[in-house]
């Protein structure tokens, strides 16, 4: 039967050649897919909502009243000093607005091909600003242009360029904003970010590996392995997204890149650590690699399998973007494991019998004695560990001697930070606050909010019975935050203007569509409460009524994310618990580890709540941030637990739990902390994406991994295991201490 460590034998030459062809194919085709993956990405959150969401049902009914698919593009002009615009200048703006139809979009289109209805010019009451609302046809803007970009981005860019090139009056300042402008700027935040994000992550990993290994070739081999694994994952994800099997967005793209690079590097670190240990014991490099693979393939597959199991619980989410992250990230972990176990060994053995050159200029100390074998006296083993791992041997000795003090003290500190976790604000934020850098669309929205009824651009819609709509108009009009309630009619409407008197509403299937203009834009976080109040009133009048629109979609997205957190967290913990039971063959140890993970996550969220609320001054966070943070911190944190506890269990089988903990912490401490630093650094790279969600996720996960690596795995878990002693392995045979081997 073929075993993975046989990959280094001569009889495995055909398999090695097949693996070489496979990875070269992944590198080539996956590299091309990297450049095209944005073409199958979609950042419209409305498409991620479940079909049962009220806003989704309302949107389906609203299409009966207006079969067009439109997205408002709002151009606003205001004076730099806030003064009145002269009548002749208003006329000049009107004339320029009519010329917008002739803007060249690409090589074969004009702006008129992308718009619905007329282009009108609306001064505000004091004539200090002018609004030009344009309805874009999303059937056209969702297509790809010749450069592979969504046409929406191209349209907005060309409109902005045209206005800038033809701006003659320095006293007027123009902003191309509205939902279309926001969408274009959101796409711009991700445009080209894949390459930037990847380069930042790879550079950070390279620097860390240089410090860890004091070698040049070794970090390059690890980075090539990680990048090739990412190419393979991207290739598969690209094909799945292209076939509409999974929903892909910019956030998931960034997370996939970071996850694959970080996880692959972690697995490579574990293999290299064991390989270096085997090389120091003597023998030819191929035999050392064979022994290293034999000692690491099981914990790598076990840790990767546990991470995958945790990630796949995201399939329970009702948001398709979150649900799709599960299989997408799992594909990344599969390629990370496979690359570390098949590609990296081949790279390390390229120099043949001179394989030690991969560690140059660092030197591998050659052991004067034989490799440590089962049954070797404990004093000799302690001497070897003290020599090879001096720093972590001191840490492990301290933890062993002061186990109770260590775990109690660390628990008190972590619980103190965890006490602030409830203050973490995850009730959603204004779309305008999601941008970390000033954008034209955000500035334009603020001008519109000051000068116009900003909620008229994307009204909240109410589909209600024809017999009851007049009551709904009266009641909804009284709600705080509602400006106007206008029934949909066959006459064309202009944003910011009321319908003519005695206009009869359009009736479809004995239902009427009400357009509710709010005093704040749909992107404002305060609009969520207005939508809740509208739903309360509408449902009281007509139980079958449906409230939708962009503000309702934002609200449904946040509420669905909160439900997902309550639903997914217990399942993740249960899945990981059973995986740990299978791996450690114990019930007590997995329970202790799960509790430690919960405390670790809560402390990270509490510390971040303090930072976000009082240091960075963030207005809040998206409701999906906690679920993303939980899955990554708990699932990835299990990696380090498995690295540690698998070695502790191995040592405990021969020398008892106390010695097993001391040896386990000493031997794995270096690789675990190195891997933790690498993973924290790669997730911190997400902060280069100028969006609040990505910055917050970067801070939470990076900080959580540092806490998990340096405190939980190095101090808390070993201390608790020592407190329970051999009982930690119940009901396995290790519950009875194997003290005879200590003689």
Dist CA 159 CA 150 (whole Å): 15
Please report which confidence band the pLDDT of residue 3 belongs to, taking 50, 70 and 90 as the band edges. low
* pTM for this model (two decimals): 0.82
Looking at residues 713-740, what average pLDDT do you find? 76
DSSP-assigned letter for residue 616? S
Dist CA 136 CA 118 (whole Å): 11
For 552-614, the three-class secondary structure string (H helix, E strand, C coil) is HHHHHHHHHHHHHHHHHHHHHHHHHHHHHHHHHCCCHHHHHHHHHHHHHHHHHHHHHHHHHHH
DSSP string, 200-213: HHHHHHHHHHHHHH
Asked if pLDDT for residue 270 goes beyond 70, the answer is yes
pLDDT in tens, 335-388: 999 999 989 888 888 777 776 777 777 666 655 444 444 444 566 666 677 776
H or E element, residue 547? strand 546-548
Dist CA 741 CA 312 (whole Å): 42
pLDDT in tens, 451-473: 776 656 678 889 999 888 889 99
Q: In the prediction, which pLDDT does 494 show?
A: 47
Beta bridge partners of 78: 129, 173
Question: Taking a C-beta distance cutoff of 8 angstroms, is the pair 120, 494 a contact?
Answer: yes
Question: Taking a C-beta distance cutoff of 8 angstroms, is the pair 444, 175 a contact?
Answer: yes
Question: Taking a C-beta distance cutoff of 8 angstroms, is the pair 685, 698 a contact?
Answer: yes
Question: Taking a C-beta distance cutoff of 8 angstroms, is the pair 128, 451 a contact?
Answer: yes
**Most confidently modeled range among 6-10, 552-556, 582-586:** 552-556
User: Considering only 317-331, 388-402, 619-633, which range has the smallest mean pLDDT?
Assistant: 388-402
Q: What is the dihedral of CA 554, 560, 564, 565, to 10 degrees?
A: 60
Dist CA 106 CA 649 (whole Å): 64
Burial of 78 (0-12, 13-18, 19+ CB in 10 A): buried
Dist CA 559 CA 233 (whole Å): 31
Dist CA 635 CA 308 (whole Å): 8
Beta bridge partners of 584: none
DSSP-assigned letter for residue 526? T
Higher pLDDT, 350 or 503: 350
Question: Taking a C-beta distance cutoff of 8 angstroms, is the pair 523, 183 a contact?
Answer: no
Q: Are strands 482-487 and 511-518 parallel, antiparallel or unpaired?
A: antiparallel
Number of other residues whose CB lies within 10 A of the CB of residue 468: 16
Helix 657-684 with 250-280: angle, nearest 10 deg: 140
**Most confidently modeled range among 331-340, 383-392, 688-697:** 331-340
Q: Which of 650, 4, 101 is nearest to 343 (CA)?
A: 4
Looking at residues 214-231, what average pLDDT do you find? 88
The label of the residue with tokens 């445009």 reads 191
Q: What angle do CA 80, 82, 88 make, to 5 degrees?
A: 80
Question: Taking a C-beta distance cutoff of 8 angstroms, is the pair 631, 572 a contact?
Answer: yes
Dist CA 354 CA 349 (whole Å): 8
Dist CA 417 CA 618 (whole Å): 19
Q: What is the mean pLDDT of the chain?
A: 81
Dist CA 253 CA 651 (whole Å): 41
The label of the residue with tokens 């052991």 reads 367
Beta bridge partners of 174: 77
Asked if pLDDT for residue 685 goes beyond 90, the answer is no
**At residue 657, what are phi and psi to the nearest 5 degrees?**
-70, -40
Burial of 24 (0-12, 13-18, 19+ CB in 10 A): exposed
The label of the residue with tokens 């990835």 reads 636
pLDDT in tens, 667-682: 888 888 888 888 888 8
């Amino acid at each position: 039967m073929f075993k993975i460590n046989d990959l280094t034998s001569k009889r495995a030459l055909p398999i090695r050649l097949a693996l070489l062809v496979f990875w070269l194919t992944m590198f080539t085709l996956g590299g091309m897919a990297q450049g095209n993956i944005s073409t199958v990405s979609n950042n419209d959150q409305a498409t991620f909502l479940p079909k049962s969401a009220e806003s989704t049902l309302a949107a389906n009914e609203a299409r009966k009243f207006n079969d067009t698919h439109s997205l408002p593009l709002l151009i606003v002009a205001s004076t730099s000093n806030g003064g009145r615009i002269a009548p002749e200048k208003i006329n000049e703006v009107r004339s320029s607005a009519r010329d917008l139809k002739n803007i060249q979009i690409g090589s074969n289109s004009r702006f008129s091909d992308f718009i619905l209805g007329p282009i009108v010019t609306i001064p505000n009451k004091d004539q200090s600003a002018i609004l030009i609302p344009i309805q874009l046809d999303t059937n056209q803007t969702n297509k790809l242009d010749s450069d592979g970009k969504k046409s929406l981005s191209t349209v907005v860019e060309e409109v902005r360029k045209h206005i800038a090139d033809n701006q003659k009056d320095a006293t007027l300042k123009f902003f191309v904003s509205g939902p279309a402008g926001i969408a274009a700027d959101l796409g711009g935040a991700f445009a080209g970010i894949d390459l930037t994000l990847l380069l930042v992550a790879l550079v950070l990993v390279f620097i860390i590996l240089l410090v860890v290994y004091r070698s040049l070739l070794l970090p390059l081999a690890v980075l090539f392995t990680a990048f090739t694994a990412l190419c393979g994952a991207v290739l598969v994800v690209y094909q799945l997204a292209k076939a509409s099997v999974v929903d892909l967005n910019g956030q998931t793209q960034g997370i996939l890149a970071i996850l694959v690079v970080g996880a692959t590097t972690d697995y490579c670190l574990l293999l290299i650590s064991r390989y270096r240990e085997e090389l120091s014991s003597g023998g030819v490099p191929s035999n050392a690699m064979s022994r290293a693979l034999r000692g690491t393939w099981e914990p790598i597959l076990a840790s990767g399998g546990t991470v995958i199991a945790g990630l796949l619980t995201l399939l329970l989410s009702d948001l398709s973007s979150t649900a799709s992250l599960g299989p997408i990230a799992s594909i990344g972990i599969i390629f990370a494991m496979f690359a570390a176990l098949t590609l990296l060994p081949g790279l390390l053995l390229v120099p043949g019998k001179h394989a030690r050159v991969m560690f140059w200029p660092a030197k591998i100390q050659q052991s004067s004695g034989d490799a440590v074998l089962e049954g070797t006296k404990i004093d000799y083993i302690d001497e070897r560990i003290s020599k090879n791992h001096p720093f972590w041997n001191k840490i492990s000795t301290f933890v062993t001697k002061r186990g109770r003090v260590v775990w109690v003290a660390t628990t008190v500190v972590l619980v103190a930070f965890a006490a602030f976790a409830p203050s973490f604000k995850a009730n959603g934020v204004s779309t305008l606050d999601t941008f970390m850098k000033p954008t034209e669309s955000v500035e334009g929205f603020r001008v519109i909010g000051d000068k116009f009824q900003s909620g008229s651009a994307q009204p909240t819609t109410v589909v209600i019975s024809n017999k009851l709509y007049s009551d709904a108009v009266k009641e909804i009009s009284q709600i705080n935050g509602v400006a106007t309630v206008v029934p949909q009619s066959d006459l064309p409407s202009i944003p910011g203007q009321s319908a003519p008197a005695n206009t009869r509403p359009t009736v479809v299937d004995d239902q009427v569509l009400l357009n509710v203009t709010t005093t704040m834009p749909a992107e404002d976080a305060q609009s969520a409460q207005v939508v809740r109040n509208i739903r309360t009133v509408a449902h009281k009048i007509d139980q079958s009524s449906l409230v939708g629109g962009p503000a309702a979609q934002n609200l449904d997205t946040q509420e669905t994310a909160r439900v997902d957190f309550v639903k997914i967290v217990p399942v993740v913990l249960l899945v990981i618990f059973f995986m740990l039971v299978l791996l450690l063959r114990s019930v007590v140890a997995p329970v202790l580890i799960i509790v430690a993970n919960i405390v670790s996550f809560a402390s990270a969220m509490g510390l971040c709540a303090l930072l976000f609320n009082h240091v960075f001054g963030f207005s809040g966070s998206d409701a999906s941030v906690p679920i993303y943070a939980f899955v990554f911190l708990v699932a990835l944190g299990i990696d380090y637990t498995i690295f540690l506890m698998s070695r502790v269990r191995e040592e405990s089988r021969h020398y008892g739990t106390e010695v097993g903990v001391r040896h386990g912490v000493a031997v794995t401490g270096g690789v675990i902390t190195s891997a933790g630093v690498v993973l924290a650094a790669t997730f911190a790279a997400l902060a280069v994406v100028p969006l609040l969600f990505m910055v917050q996720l970067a801070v939470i996960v990076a900080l959580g991994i540092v806490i998990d690596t340096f405190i939980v795995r190095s101090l808390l878990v070993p201390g608790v295991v020592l407190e329970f002693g051999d009982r930690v392995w119940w009901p396995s045979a290790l519950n009875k201490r194997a003290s005879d081997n200590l003689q």
